[in-house]
Structures are given as structure tokens and as C-alpha cells.
């Protein structure tokens, strides 16, 4: 089995996003680009509390399984299209965290609210136009809204963060959720 270190990283961060409550049940997905042609991705329908390195699937940029016993995530197209569009991206985390999902449900972009958002995420985080889960349309709309930023909100769905490593993608994931929470509270204060 190739890329043992990267497989273990995916397992470790899958468990982290599960423990943080950024995903529930079998939702969300993670991947790492291992070279120009291949990526490792979490499997479809597997709870991250129990995920193992042997569950991680190696696929090519056409979505073909190269190595693995399980079916890759239903959002593999989303990951593939981001990697194709963004050569700087080496890892992707897709979550259904509470506050980012509030923005996703209402289709509200996250405007620039704190300095660190500009410095770390690249500025405003846009909402990708709605498209069904796992579809080519969703992948296309996500790439379009992501632009050169480190995160995107998926309308009626969740959030995606990217990084030069899975550690960076996770840090971005935490920051995006924190900023989304702050923004939800800002909107509540403005109503009073």
C-alpha cells in the first residue's frame, strides 16, 4: 500500500473533524493530492469515528479507482475539479459544520469581517450556486466560487476548505467555522 503517511494523515484529520462536530454520521470528505495524477480520498458511507487507513481510496484525476476496496466519496468530482483548477492545492476538507451550514442554508457569503480572514482565507468567502450533491455542476460551481481563496460555501450543503497540506486545510476549516459563527452573531446583533 503506497502513501501510508498520507493515508494516516487523512484518518487523523477525519477523526478530528468528527470530534469537533464539523461532520456527523457519514457526512463530509477529505483528500490529499499525492502527485500530479493521483489523490487519496475518504470512502463513501464510512463514519470517521471508525475509519482506518485501509478504507482510504487512491483515485486518478478521472475518478478511476487505482487502489482500494471501498467506493470513493460521492463528492470525488468536487475534489478532482478543485485539484485540476488549483495546482497550489494539496489537500481538501469538505464539512457540514453548523455555522457554515447556516450560511449555506441561507445562501449568504461570508464578507470580510476580521483581518485574519483576509490574511489567511484571502478575503470574502463566496457561496457557490446550488447544485445537487455529487454532481458535475456542484464541482463546477464550487471551483468558480472558490477562485483563488482558501474556502467556499456550498449553497444548501456545507463548506470546503483547501490548503498546501491537510494540516493547513484543517486550520482553514476551523477558522471558517469560527468566522461563520461570528458573522451569524453579528447579524443577530444588527437585528436588535
| pLDDT 10s digits, 22-66 | 999 889 999 999 999 999 999 999 999 999 999 999 999 999 999
Cβ atoms 6, 32 nearer than 8 A:
yes
Spatial CA neighbour of 163 closest among 179, 182, 176: 176
Instruction: Check which CATH number belongs to the domain holding 58 and give it.
Output: 3.40.225.10
pLDDT at res. 63 = 96
- Domain assignment of residue 167, given as a range: 4-191
Q: Catalytic site residue 75? A: yes
In angstroms, the CA 45 to CA 149 distance is: 29
Q: Tell me how many domains the chain contains.
A: 1
- Assign 191 a pLDDT band (cuts: 50, 70, 90): confident
Average pLDDT over every residue of 155-178:
98
Find the catalytic residue in 6, 9, 75, 141.
Answer: 75
| pLDDT 10s digits, 75-106 | 999 999 999 999 999 999 999 999 999 999 99
DSSP string, 125-186: BPEEPP--TT-HHHHHHHHHHHTTSSEEEETTTEEEEEESSHHHHHHHHHHHHHHHHHHHHH
pLDDT at res. 1 = 76
Mean pLDDT (the chain) is: 96
CA angle at 75 for the pair 70 and 78, rounded to the nearest 5°: 135
When computed from its CA atoms, the radius of gyration of the chain, rounded to whole angstroms, is 16
In angstroms, the CA 46 to CA 184 distance is: 31
Three-state DSSP state, 112: coil
| pLDDT 10s digits, 128-164 | 999 999 999 999 999 999 999 999 999 999 999 999 9
* Cα 102 versus chain centre, distance: 16
Amino acid at each position: 500500500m503506497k502513501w501510508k503517511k498520507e493515508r494516516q494523515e487523512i484518518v487523523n484529520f477525519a477523526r478530528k473533524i468528527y470530534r469537533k462536530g464539523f461532520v456527523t454520521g457519514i457526512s463530509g470528505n477529505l483528500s490529499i493530492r499525492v502527485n500530479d495524477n493521483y489523490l487519496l480520498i475518504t470512502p463513501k458511507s464510512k463514519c470517521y469515528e471508525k475509519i482506518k487507513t485501509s478504507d482510504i481510496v487512491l483515485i486518478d484525476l478521472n475518478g478511476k479507482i487505482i487502489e482500494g476496496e471501498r467506493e470513493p466519496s460521492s463528492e470525488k468530482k468536487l475534489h478532482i475539479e478543485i485539484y485540476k483548477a488549483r495546482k497550489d492545492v494539496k489537500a481538501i476538507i469538505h464539512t457540514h459544520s453548523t455555522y457554515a451550514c447556516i450560511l449555506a442554508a441561507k445562501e449568504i457569503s461570508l464578507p470580510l469581517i476580521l483581518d485574519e480572514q483576509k490574511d489567511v482565507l484571502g478575503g470574502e468567502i463566496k457561496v457557490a450556486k446550488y447544485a445537487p450533491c455529487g454532481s458535475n455542476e456542484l464541482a463546477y460551481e464550487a471551483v468558480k466560487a472558490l477562485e483563488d481563496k482558501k474556502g467556499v460555501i456550498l449553497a444548501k450543503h456545507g463548506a470546503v476548505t483547501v490548503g498546501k497540506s491537510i494540516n493547513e486545510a484543517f486550520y482553514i476549516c476551523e477558522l471558517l467555522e469560527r468566522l461563520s459563527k461570528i458573522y451569524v452573531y453579528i447579524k443577530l446583533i444588527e437585528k436588535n
